[in-house]
Structure 1
Amino acid sequence: MTPDRRWTAKDLGDLTGRKFIVTGANSGLGEVTARALGGAGADVLLACRDTAKGDAVARSIGPRAHVRRLDLADLESVRSFASTVDSVDVLINNAGVMAVPFRRTADGFEMQFGTNHLGHFALTGLLASKVTDRVVTLSSGLHQIGRIHLDDPNYERRSYRRWPAYGQSKLANLMFALEFDRRLAAVGSELKSVAAHPGYARTNLQGRTESFQDTVMAIGGKMLAQSAEMGALPELYAATSPEVTSGLYIGPDGRSELSDYPTIVGPSSRARDRAVASALWSKSEELTGVRFAPVGG
């Protein structure tokens, strides 16, 4: 159901007793999300690669916020983190990298595909039986420029291009969320899989290209982007609203979904390709070694 009015963090209600994991919560959208959840009374686990920054955020939130190290670019770290979690109501797959120079993860994956998609795929698979309510996975409006190259997802034979690589990773995020929903429905699970995207928001995700594009994005961000607080609203709504059902994609309701308040938006035709989504799932299991255990109702 689409919100019948402009939904904001003030509409979170009382989240006392609810437990959330937010990946990448040491800065940007993740930090805003963690602060909003903690401010509403939730217990928040900040899953961060940079635990020093995470600790600073957690201290500002209060005693219900805790930090644990998670490096999504290292499957050993993902497994270690998952082993420490007993139960959680909501997992928010928020962390990501954007348009970085060509690098590989600890396991040899292209950094954007490995961090944004494979790391979260593995994390969700390892935690799925411990999540009681829903999984929210962040995509991007730039998923529309992506294509899933199942024969070479990690740029072992193709020439690396940072923006198409980012688009592939964000398309993979969205396809994963939708495919997870279909698989949950097939076994009658009450667990929800929801996708969200922030529109164009000012965060430190921009400015990591290590090229002239950093300057261009900094200027564009100041002139055109909405605040991180506004950009976090779709994931907050997706993670907390009782009106959200599994399989939805939540984004801003403004022009071209670049800004404004959360609403239901539509995935691209590529994101709705079930055959590719199923093949991507199988490829992701193969690459990560993580297979999802059945999650019943």
Structure 2
Amino acid sequence: MAWSTADIPDQSGRKFVVTGANSGLGEQTTRALIAAGATVVMACRNQDTANALAAKLGERAHVEKLDLADLASVRAFAERVGEFDVLINNAGLMAIPERRTADGFEMQMGTNHLGHFALTGLLLEKVSDRVVTLSSFMHQFGRLNLGDLNWEKRRYLRWNAYADSKMANLMFGKELARRLETSGSTVSSMIAHPGYADTGLQGHTESFMDQLMAIAAKTPMVQSAAAGALPTLYAATSPDAQTGLFYGPKLTMVGPPHVSGYNGKANNQGTRNALWDLSEELTGVKVL
């Protein structure tokens, strides 16, 4: 039988931090967790949409300001948050025009990977159960250039930059699992991806791809945001989810949660170590 939100164990008394909880996958993840009894800290940049959603979800939804494209905001958020059970690194940007974060990072790498890397490191001592980091099927096309992680020396290619950031997410989640286990920690690290889900993320490329993806969203090859959130929810709540594994739709792009295949480059220990060291250097946050 396919796993669904009906299979989420009772989450009463448990607290989650979800980045980008105000829309798309983050909203659906938050809705499902609240319905299961959890308390959710909605860590969002857009306070207006976050507060509007929290008002609908009730007193167990708490909004906190977090801009992953600004390390000062990440640090301030981490200082305000108390102990909790699960961190869900969900927020992300996809294939946007070239922009820079407050700290000068390429916006997709800075938000999707470096912001979450710093956030995880600053919060790790407060997490009691697990960390879930979202990657994407697009990680398959990631070709990390650690000599130019932030696209300062090359012509910017938005889809390549996105794929790189998602490969970084996968490598980080897997390496975090290994290092937590080696350190003797009982905290787990899982990675998830939504397949092809209609989340609104697709409408910000500011290119002809926005129209193409709007058309694709009406076809059977695309699932709803609620369905796309299921791998994340499985990784975040199921007692059967295992540290270091990558969860996605069973049919790659659509379907119920299942252990997902991935690009074997994510297993390269040398690259993972180098990415980890570079991420610590760039963010100024030491993780494990």
Secondary structure at the counterpart of residue 218 of structure 2: helix
Q: Quick check: 1:241 aligned with 2:265?
A: no
Q: Quick check: 1:290 aligned with 2:280?
A: no
Contact persistence 2:24–2:201 (CA under 8 A)? yes
Contact persistence 2:9–2:237 (CA under 8 A)? no
Partner of 1:72: 68
Partner of 1:264: 259
Report the TM-score when normalising by structure 2. Answer: 0.98
Report the TM-score when normalising by structure 1. Answer: 0.96
Secondary structure at the counterpart of residue 185 of structure 1: helix
Partner of 2:227: 230
CA distance in structure 2 between the aligned counterparts of 1:15 and 1:180, rounded to whole angstroms: 24
- After TM superposition, the runs of 4+ consecutive aligned structure 1 residues lying more than 2 A away are none
Equivalent residue runs for 1:74-93 within 5 Å = 74-93=70-89
CA distance in structure 2 between the aligned counterparts of 1:62 and 1:88, rounded to whole angstroms: 19
CA distance in structure 1 between the aligned counterparts of 2:208 and 2:189, rounded to whole angstroms: 37
Q: Quick check: 1:102 aligned with 2:98?
A: yes
Query: Equivalent pairs: percent with the same residue?
Result: 59
Report the number of matched residues.
Answer: 287
Partner of 2:151: 155
Q: Among 159, 166, 177, which residue is 1:181 paired with? A: 177
- Deviation digits for residues 221-263 of structure 1, max 9, x if unmatched? 1223100010000000000001112111100001xx0000001
Q: Which amino acid aligns with 2:285?
A: V
Q: Quick check: 1:121 aligned with 2:117?
A: yes
Q: Among 159, 163, 170, which residue is 2:166 paired with? A: 170
Partner of 2:187: 191
CA distance in structure 2 between the aligned counterparts of 1:151 and 1:160, rounded to whole angstroms: 15
Contact persistence 2:136–2:193 (CA under 8 A)? yes
Q: CA deviation at 1:267?
A: 2.4
Equivalent residue runs for 1:54-73 within 5 Å = 54-73=50-69
CA distance in structure 1 between the aligned counterparts of 2:43 and 2:81, rounded to whole angstroms: 11
Structure 2 unaligned spans of 5+: none
Q: CA deviation at 1:19?
A: 0.2
Q: Which amino acid aligns with 1:47?
A: A
Q: CA deviation at 1:211?
A: 1.3
Q: Among 146, 165, 168, which residue is 2:142 paired with? A: 146
Q: CA deviation at 1:106?
A: 0.4
CA distance in structure 2 between the aligned counterparts of 1:128 and 1:121, rounded to whole angstroms: 10
Q: Which amino acid aligns with 1:144?
A: Q
CA distance in structure 2 between the aligned counterparts of 1:184 and 1:41, rounded to whole angstroms: 28
Secondary structure at the counterpart of residue 67 of structure 1: strand
Q: Among 49, 53, 74, which residue is 2:49 paired with? A: 53
Partner of 2:130: 134
Q: Quick check: 1:7 aligned with 2:3?
A: yes
Partner of 2:38: 42
Q: Which amino acid aligns with 2:257?
A: P
Aligned-residue CA RMSD in angstroms? 0.7
